[in-house]
Amino acid sequence: MLNDVKKYSEIIDFNYNKKRLLKKNNQEILKAKIYGNISCFQLKEYIAYFMLQKNVNIEIELSDYDNLLSDHSISKDCKFSIVFWELSNLFNGAQYKIEMLNGNQINNLIDETIKKINLFINNITKNSLLIFNKFSTMHFNINYFEKTKYQLINDKLNSFLETKKNNNFILMDINQIISEIGTDNAVSYRDFYLSKSIYNLQFYKRYSYIIANLILSKTGRYKKVLVLDCDNTLWKGIAVEDGIDKLEMDEITYPGCIFFEVQHLINKLYKKGILICLCSKNNLEDIKKIFKLKTYLKLNQFADIRINWDDKPKNLKKISEKLNLGLDSFVFIDDSDFEINYIKKTFPEVTTFKVPIDNLYDYPKMIREISNLFYTNLLTEEDKKKNLYYFQEEKREKTKSKFISLEDYINTLKLSLIVEKNNIKHLARVTQLTQKTNQFNSSLKRFSENEIEKFIMDDKFDVYTLRVSDKFGESGLTAICILKKDIKKKICVLNTFLMSCRIFGRKIEFIFLNYIKNKLRKLKIKKILINFKIGPRNSNVESFLIEYGFIKKKNNNTIASFEKNIGKLKSNKIENLDIKIKKSD
Amino acid sequence: MIDKKAIKVFKKVLKLKKIKILKSINQQKVKNWDSIANLNLIFALEEEFKIRFNDKDILNMKSLNEAINIIKKKKKLYA
């Protein structure tokens, strides 16, 4: 996966130029900070590189080396912090001096370090996501049979870290990286003794790749859809050439066992809520037969199926339209160089992988690595049911085409909406929606759980949530509105109004905003303001605001301000709709 | 060849804009050549030439010219 990464000098050059370019375009800058009791400045370039490659501008600050505790200064808009807290530098010479300590001294050292870490974590996780490396002894431990004191301290500190895990605190297992690339490649003793730096470029490269993907996923840029070819991707062999009987995907014999394992790994992704789709040049009847007779995966697990002889970019486009998800959230796997390159050329935003057809034994590992691209950490109930939601949506679409007007159609759905206000129970889901909603999102602000919690607790703010269901099933919590009231001035600012693309096309946004407007009217609020952030994909919010009756006041390149007087009850198109709205607060 | 490659690395790491770089440039003369840039240079050159500098090399590498000499020596040694 990291074979085509540029050389370090080229990365420095690339970052420098790309940053200037993005700055010119006034692109938003993501802020991050790296803390360390060792020097790890190389991280700065590598993480920036992987982010800038995806056109995300990031500014990374380095804390003063070994100034972990005094440098708590964290600016409010710094959303990500990374910590290198190395055991070998707990104090000068720790890597050998620890062995000379007695039991009491060791306990004191552990207690003291835990206290320090605790203070640090509590401070940083208030506003920012903290990525903390697990302690490791791999740099200095060459002990095969006995446990050293160094290892003992290491284990104790790591068990403490485990207890601190939450959505704003992520533990990174660097042993995994060190063992992947080997200690000799990962660790530089020269730099440890010369400049209190401890890792080689190879380590930083791998580490940064993983962390950059985590940061991208935490800012809503993670992959959501996995599109798979069939022949030589889900099984060995080609259906139309070899015949269905000859296709290999059994558990026992090679290479069938490879594909059997791959199908299991894909099933695991499916269960996590990743949308899986098929895109293959084949006869649909053959594929149906194969899935009925031979595969571990079942056809009804796929959110969309494109089995035809059209070109693949065309099919991918259709999948993207159907799922209402941008192609930048797509991963594409195929065994053909031609198809991979065709997709790469047409849609560079799609991440593509070629099945290692000449060394199939590497294929399961590839799928395991790909699984990291879908990493979200904030897995909510809605995620786990996602494939089901799309299945329901398909049934809805089929019904829709039978009706003449949209209103008629909506009325047959028996929509039921549940609005809740400031319910702390929904903290994780609300946070997640702000992180990942790119289309119908007025502010595109990405909030942390702490920030959402503050809104819920603060009297000046209200967080409204909406759960939707209809006769086809539950769509879950799919719309939120965060607003700030100024009772004195009689105005209200809609900080964020967003809705998941899953419930588009049912006029729900009108009903939701109407409900909120009526609540505000009761508070004698006269005017609603909203600052619409102009993003690449959220123009439908603007159309909605105008249709709803908002008037555009100001407009620059990035923000458009809208306002609306709360007058009499306005007769909206939605009056003809028969929708039950329940309150549950 | 080594000269050319080394100059390229220096240009990129130190963000030098001039087209022609004099081999005599040294740490005092270049504003961007601070201690971190110096370490970046070491890492970048090691990666570029697939060599490993030792402590003496690092202490001696105060100018482009010296860097090129050290690399040439290493390369011969490794060949």
CATH of domain A395-583: 3.40.630.30
Helices (H) and strands (E) in chain B, counts: 4, 0
Q: What mean pLDDT do residues A531-539 have?
A: 85
- Using CA coordinates, name the residue in chain B closest to A41: B36
Residue A372 three-state SS: helix
Give A116→chain B minimum CA distance, Å. 28
- pLDDT over threshold 80, residue A381: no
Which residues, 6+ apart, have CB-to-CB distance to A376 below 8 Å? A217, A222, A383, A432, A436
- Using CA coordinates, name the residue in chain A closest to B49: A7
- Using CA coordinates, name the residue in chain B closest to A202: B47
Note the ipTM here: 0.93
- Whether the domain at A225-374 and the domain at A395-583 fall into the same CATH topology: no
How do beta strands A129-133 and A78-84 pair? parallel
pLDDT at residue A73, as a whole number: 64
CA distance A434 to A450: 13
CA distance A41 to A281: 48
pLDDT at residue A511, as a whole number: 87
* CB-CB neighbors (< 8 A) of B43 in chain A: 8, 42, 201
Inter-chain CB proximity B40 and A12 less than 8 Å: yes
Q: What mean pLDDT do residues A329-334 have?
A: 95
Inter-chain CB proximity B36 and A10 less than 8 Å: no
Which residues, 6+ apart, have CB-to-CB distance to A453 below 8 Å? A424, A427
More confident of the two residues A409 and A300: A300
Cβ atoms of A499 and A467 closer than 8 Å? no
Inter-chain CB proximity A41 and B12 less than 8 Å: no
User: What residues does each domain of chain A span?
Assistant: 8-218, 225-374, 395-583
* CB-CB neighbors (< 8 A) of A201 in chain B: 43, 46-47
Inter-chain CB proximity A42 and B54 less than 8 Å: no
- Using CA coordinates, name the residue in chain A closest to B9: A9
Residue A564 three-state SS: strand
**How does pLDDT run across B19-77, given as a tens digit for each residue?**
777 888 888 888 889 988 999 999 999 999 999 999 999 988 999 999 999 999 988 87
**Most confident by average pLDDT, A128-132, A153-157, A503-507, A509-513:** A153-157
Closest CA to A229 of A288, A312, A113: A312
Inter-chain CB proximity B43 and A201 less than 8 Å: yes
pLDDT at residue A403, as a whole number: 60
* CB-CB neighbors (< 8 A) of A187 in chain B: none
Out of B15, B39, B52, the one facing A195 most closely (by C-beta) is B39
**How does pLDDT run across A472-493, given as a tens digit for each residue?**
778 889 999 999 999 999 999 9
Out of A9, A191, A194, the one facing B13 most closely (by C-beta) is A9
pLDDT at residue A536, as a whole number: 79
DSSP state of A300: G
**How does pLDDT run across A70-86, given as a tens digit for each residue?**
666 666 778 899 999 99
The tokens describing A294, both together, are 């031979």
Angle subtended at Cα A71 by Cα A66 and Cα A76, rounded to the nearest 5 degrees: 140
Give B76→chain A minimum CA distance, Å. 22
Out of B9, B36, B58, the one facing A9 most closely (by C-beta) is B9
Residues of A with CB under 8 A from a CB of B: 7-10, 12-13, 16, 41-42, 45, 190-191, 194-195, 197, 201
* CB-CB neighbors (< 8 A) of A194 in chain B: 55, 58
CA distance A157 to A116: 11
CATH of domain A225-374: 3.40.50.1000
CATH 3.30.420.40 fits A8-218, yes or no: no
The whole-chain average pLDDT of chain A stands at: 88
CATH C-level class of B2-78: mainly alpha
Which residues, 6+ apart, have CB-to-CB distance to A262 below 8 Å? A234, A363, A364, A367
pLDDT at residue A574, as a whole number: 57
- Using CA coordinates, name the residue in chain A closest to B15: A13
Inter-chain CB proximity A8 and B43 less than 8 Å: yes
CA distance A364 to A321: 30
Give B49→chain A minimum CA distance, Å. 11
- E strand spans, A281-431: 304-307, 330-334, 351-354, 416-421
Give B12→chain A minimum CA distance, Å. 5
User: What residues does each domain of chain B span?
Assistant: 2-78
Inter-chain CB proximity A194 and B55 less than 8 Å: yes
